[in-house]
Amino acid sequence: DARVTQTPRHKVTEMGQEVTMRCQPILGHNTVFWYRQTMMQGLELLAYFRNRAPLDDSGMPKDRFSAEMPDATLATLKIQPSEPRDSAVYFCASGRRTDLEAFFGQGTRLTVV
Amino acid sequence: SQKIEQNSEALNIQEGKTATLTCNYTNYSPAYLQWYRQDPGRGPVFLLLIRENEKEKRKERLKVTFDTTLKQSLFHITASQPADSATYLCALDDSGGYQKVTFGTGTKLQVIP
C-alpha cells in the first residue's frame, strides 16, 4: 500500500532550535509539496518541487525556512531558528504531473515552546 | 485579494439525506478544482477533481459541480452516512495546471444517525 511517510510524527522543541522534518514521497511521484496547517490559516502551501527542482517556495518565510530534495526518495523541511508561531501541523504530499491528485502524509505536529 | 470561501459553520444533517457543501472563490481563474476529505489527526484524502471545462463530475455517492461564471463549486454527498462525518476541503489550481494548489479552510460535516 503506497503512502507518503513523514518523520517525526510529533516534535516539541524550544524556541531558537533547529527543526528538520522529513518526507518520503510515493515511489514514482515526481511532484512533492510541503503544506502547513493551523486553525487560523488552514492549509497553506509552503513550497513544491517537480523532479526534485523547486517550482515555487513563495509561501515560505525565507529567512528561517528551507526546503530541499537531496534525492527522489527524500524531501526535507528545515526551520532555523524555530519560533512559537511556527507551531502547526506540517504536511508533505506527493503526486504525478499527469493525474494532479495529491497524496498526503500523516503530518508532523510541531510545537515550539 | 484572492479568496476561497467555504462555510465555516459546521453542517449537521440526518443520515440518509443529501449533504451539500459550497466553495466560492474570488480573483482566481482555476484550471481545475479538487475536493478532499480530512479526518481528525490525518492528512487530507483526495476525492474528486473537476476541470474548468466540466460542469459536473460523479463518483459513487459523490457529485461535484463547477460554475466558473458564478465562481462556485458545490459538493454533494447523497444517502449520507455517519462515516461521511469529516471536514471537506476544496482546493483550486490557479497556476494554469502547474499544481500550485490553494486550499479553502474546509467545512465540517456531521451526519447524525
Q: What percent of chain A has pLDDT over 90?
A: 88
| Higher-confidence position of A109 and B93 | A109
* pLDDT beyond 80 at B97: no
Residue B88 corresponds to which cell in the numbers above? 471537506
Task: Give the residue among B21, B102, B108 at the shortest CA–CA distance from B65.
Answer: B21
Mean pLDDT of B7-33: 92
Would you call A106 and B43 a contact, using CB atoms and an 8 Å cutoff? Answer: yes
Give me A11's grid cell: 516534535
Band (B38; pLDDT cuts 50, 70, 90): very high
Under 8 Å between Cβ of B80 and B17: yes
- Residue B30 touches partner A, C-beta closer than 8 Å: no
Q: How far apart are CA B113 and CA A19, in angstroms?
A: 44
Establish if B74 touches chain A: CB-CB under 8 angstroms. Answer: no
CA distance B54 to chain A (A): 16
- In sequence order, which residues have a C-beta less than 8 Å from that of residue B66 and are 6 or more positions away? B33, B50, B51, B52, B54, B55, B56, B57, B72, B73
Mapped onto helix, strand or coil, the DSSP state of residue A86 is helix
pLDDT at B27: 86
pLDDT band at A42 (very low <50, low <70, confident <90, very high): very high
pLDDT band for position A9 (50/70/90)?
A: very high
Residues in chain B with CB shorter than 8 Å from the CB of A44 are 103
Residue A48 predicted with pLDDT over 80: yes
For residue B29, the surrounding DSSP H or E stretch is none
